[in-house]
Structure 1
Amino acid sequence: MKINPVIRKISILPNSDICGTSTMLANLIKQTDFDAIIIGGGACGLMCAVQAGFLGKRTLILEKNDKVGAKILISGGGRCNYTNLYASPKQFISQNEHFAKSAFAQWTVDDTISFFETYGIIGKEKTLGQLFPQSNKAADVVKVFTELCHDLDQEILTEADVKSIDQVDGGFEVTYENKGKTINLYSSKVVIAAGGLPIQKMGATDFGLRIARKFGLTIADTAPALVPLTITGKEQQWYEQLSGNSIFCRVWNDKVSFEENILFTHWGLSGPAILQISSYWRPGEFIYIDLLPNQNIAQLIQCERETNGKKTLLNYLSGLYTRKFAEALNGYLPIEKNLASLSKTDLGAIDDLIHQFKVKPAGDKGYDKAEVMRGGVSTNELSSKSMETKKVPGLFFGGECVDVTGWLGGYNFQWAWASGFVIAQNI
């Protein structure tokens, strides 16, 4: 049973900023004797502060932006898919596939659901287990944390740009800038919950990785994940003409497969299935697309031509896809032929293209279009039970900057909540 001692109905305070903390703190630090300083006011940092407060511990969050929860606020199109009913270690990528098991055992999906229900957020299930607030407002999720931090006497300072962290006297000196002033604070524990490299316009930096390197920690290779894929060269024009077309597909490689929509764009491919496979794709590799999953195109054509053999392949495919997409297949298939005229060779070509559409992406759209970062602080450097670094006692890493990357659809939030909870138990 998790400790949730502060139980009340969450309400918006008059004239308050539910996402920032200027009204809460007036940008003043009321004390410097904290059990831990948390760098980053995102999902992991906020959960860590609240859970520490439940245990009677005092924390300070230093957030670079003028508001906490920036990525929470834009997630799920501003609705925040704050967990996934099916989340388990199986949906996460890491050099150590077992690392996340301890955190997910300590803080489960049921714990997430119960936590938010306690503070007024009832989940609404959407596609593939994604859970959204019934209000469809990501701001409600952030408000839970800002108001709990206030109630639990956890302090948050926004516009605090941390410049350095140094080991001193059995603890850490944290140097940050706020409104033109340089300030030094001391704490025996420091939590790095600074997120990953996406999205720079929202303040994302490599700060967490730089601190890890400074203390001699290994970094698993980083790359954009859950990101659209690009097509260049002579094939780009074909994708451009289909921009805006969305098709339910099965997308796969030799590692994994996903059944969701793909979206053709003027620069390549996007949509949920493409974002999912991108986390498993590496430059130079192919991906494969079944444009008609769970059906057999050759069998469907055989049945159709028994009753309507004069129908052209173009008209038949236009019934399965958009006319524009069917017409775009002209360079690959004999779309002007009647169904009755299709040879075995024709049917084989149709089957291959529809069920094994082969794509070799040129690259991806980079961190500014990525949902998350793959890689990060190596799990070999951390205790799976506490998220504390093995080499530097008192230094913790959690959330996206750790080499644990989830699927699209609320999985990465579940990791953020779980790792934040685990750290709070150990600071």
Structure 2
Amino acid sequence: MNKEQDFDAIIIGGGACGLMCAVQAGYLGKKVLILEKNDKVGAKILISGGGRCNFANLYATEANFISQNPHFCKSAFSQFTVQDTISFFETYGINGQEKTLGQLFPETNNAKDIVRVFEDLCYEMGQEIICGAEVKQITQCANGGFDISYEKNAKLKTLSAAKVVVTSGGLPIPKMGATDFGIRIAKQFGLKVIPTAPALVPLTITGKDAEWYAQLSGNSIFCRVSNTRISFEENILFTHWGLSGPAILQISSYWRPGEHIEIDLLPNDKIKDLIEAGRAVNGRKTLGGMLAEIYTKKFADALAKFLPVTKNLASLTKAELNEIERMIHFFIVKPAGDKGYDKAEVMRGGIDTDELSSKSLESKKIPGLFFGGECVDVTGWLGGYNFQWAWSSGYIMAQHL
């Protein structure tokens, strides 16, 4: 085992947070090294948004994040704002284009351009990156600082640094090398961890209703999806195994096993009003005919399982109208589970924010040890929010290296 040169800090994980930290440290004249387990940096950046990378959200605030301490990320967002993110990327030729709900994508629609900015800056600043490097151990030295042992090409090496930044991500998408490394290191040093779970993840339906959902696979409907904690208005997508789409991914972060969710299948209208209007124009039209004008024909036909679709609008009884209203505006779903970390976009839970300084993300117990990005108990909504947390947390850690 040979010991290599010293650095001001070693960053474990070359994702969004680690890359931003390295660049910001470079601006301050600090020498850092990124150790990345994969064969290239920015793996999750490259696949995000279907390869287009929704790198920020115009409206990101602490209200768009889940944490045991919902105010914790305020400090990071005040130190490195959404506008700072936009300005940073514009400086290097990446202009944001708003697609929907404040979501910003590069005008080129190419996530590779985002990664290239960081690779180029690290090269220009002399920040080192070692890919294919799997960290095996972090040891706190008696005289301060840390030794980091890593394996590359079946050889074990050890590096030293005064400070260590853990930005190794969370558990989602294990096929891309995701592990619980950050959680394990936190526990090794005696830090508390909030139980983790998949978030922004599709939900599964099993049992007697499974076939009904499966037959609708591919159908997308604009809905309001709610539970006792929150509601979202976006599209849901029926799949062979249950439900997905933006609204479902959003609510999944707030869903717990055993709970149900409520779906308003027509959030911007009242079905009873539409029926009354339809009766006035043509009372002989069937309910199914009217529903086919609102939804896809396939979805309208599927509602025949629950509603009297063959009846004329004029002949619907009060009881039937109430049942139609209940089905359309208060459609109850009780998911069997979720699709797990393989399909989750992020992880809920992580290193307890009480263990970290909100100003610097440095461990309160272990000076010189920092945690940022997804491994911390700060989980954003769908739509660029988690990238904003990555950029902001990377920035503030760099200021204290």
Q: 2:335 matched to 1:351?
A: no
Give the equivalent residue in structure 2 for 1:316.
290
Give the equivalent residue in structure 1 for 2:112.
139
Give the equivalent residue in structure 2 for 1:292.
266
RMSD (Å) for aligned C-alpha atoms? 1.1
Give the equivalent residue in structure 2 for 1:23.
none
Superposition map of 1:139-178 within 5 A: 139-168=112-141, 169-178=143-152
Q: Is the 8 Å Cα contact of residues 24 and 395 (structure 2) preserved in structure 1?
A: yes
Give the equivalent residue in structure 1 for 2:376.
402
Give the equivalent residue in structure 2 for 1:218.
192
Distance 1:31 1:311 in 2: 80
Residue 102 of structure 1, aligned match among 75, 83, 89: 75
Q: 2:229 matched to 1:255?
A: yes
Q: 2:38 matched to 1:65?
A: yes
Distance 2:355 2:209 in 1: 43
Partner deviation per Cα, 1:241-296 (whole Å, 9 max, x = no partner): 11111000010111111100000011000000000000000001110111001210
Distance 1:191 1:323 in 2: 54
| Matched letter for residue 155 of structure 2 | K
Distance 1:393 1:57 in 2: 18
| Matched letter for residue 103 of structure 1 | A
Distance 1:94 1:245 in 2: 33
**SS across alignment from 1:188:** strand
Structure 2 gap segments, 5+ residues each: none
Q: 2:94 matched to 1:121?
A: yes
| Matched letter for residue 277 of structure 2 | C
Q: 2:352 matched to 1:417?
A: no
Structure 1 gap segments, 5+ residues each: 1-28
Distance 1:31 1:52 in 2: 20
TM-superposed CA distance for 1:224, in Å, is 0.1
TM-superposed CA distance for 1:307, in Å, is 1.3
Distance 1:240 1:103 in 2: 43
Residue 42 of structure 1, aligned match among 15, 25, 28: 15
Give the equivalent residue in structure 2 for 1:25.
none
Q: Following TM superposition, where does structure 1 have runs of at least 4 consecutive aligned residues deviating by more than 6 angstroms?
A: none
Distance 2:3 2:115 in 1: 23
Distance 2:145 2:88 in 1: 32
Distance 2:241 2:203 in 1: 8
Give the equivalent residue in structure 2 for 1:12.
none
Partner deviation per Cα, 1:138-170 (whole Å, 9 max, x = no partner): 000000000000011100000000001011131
**SS across alignment from 2:94:** coil
Distance 2:348 2:369 in 1: 22
Q: 2:353 matched to 1:379?
A: yes
| Matched letter for residue 158 of structure 1 | C
Superposition map of 1:186-197 within 5 A: 186-197=160-171
Distance 1:153 1:99 in 2: 33
Give the equivalent residue in structure 2 for 1:16.
none
**SS across alignment from 2:7:** coil
Distance 2:146 2:16 in 1: 23
Distance 1:229 1:179 in 2: 39
Give the equivalent residue in structure 2 for 1:337.
311
Q: State percent identity of aligned pairs.
A: 71
TM-score by length of 1: 0.93
Q: 2:66 matched to 1:86?
A: no
TM-superposed CA distance for 1:331, in Å, is 1.8
Q: Is the 8 Å Cα contact of residues 3 and 157 (structure 2) preserved in structure 1?
A: no
Give the equivalent residue in structure 2 for 1:18.
none
Distance 2:12 2:372 in 1: 10
CA 1:94 to 1:105, structure 2 compared with 1: closer, same or farther past 3 Å? same
Residue 306 of structure 1, aligned match among 280, 285, 290: 280
Q: 2:250 matched to 1:276?
A: yes
Distance 1:257 1:340 in 2: 34
Q: Is the 8 Å Cα contact of residues 171 and 178 (structure 2) preserved in structure 1?
A: yes
TM-superposed CA distance for 1:33, in Å, is 2.1
**SS across alignment from 2:60:** coil
**SS across alignment from 2:237:** strand
Q: Is the 8 Å Cα contact of residues 286 and 312 (structure 2) preserved in structure 1?
A: yes
Q: Is the 8 Å Cα contact of residues 287 and 309 (structure 2) preserved in structure 1?
A: yes
TM-score by length of 2: 0.98
Distance 2:240 2:39 in 1: 35
| Matched letter for residue 66 of structure 1 | D
TM-superposed CA distance for 1:31, in Å, is 6.7
Distance 1:118 1:396 in 2: 28
Aligned residues: 399
Partner deviation per Cα, 1:151-192 (whole Å, 9 max, x = no partner): 111000000000010111311110000111100111110000
Q: Is the 8 Å Cα contact of residues 3 and 159 (structure 2) preserved in structure 1?
A: no
**SS across alignment from 1:426:** coil
Distance 1:279 1:425 in 2: 31
Residue 185 of structure 1, aligned match among 146, 159, 168: 159
Q: Is the 8 Å Cα contact of residues 4 and 158 (structure 2) preserved in structure 1?
A: no
Distance 1:187 1:132 in 2: 36
Give the equivalent residue in structure 2 for 1:13.
none
Distance 1:64 1:295 in 2: 51
TM-superposed CA distance for 1:94, in Å, is 0.1
Distance 1:343 1:425 in 2: 68
TM-superposed CA distance for 1:329, in Å, is 1.1
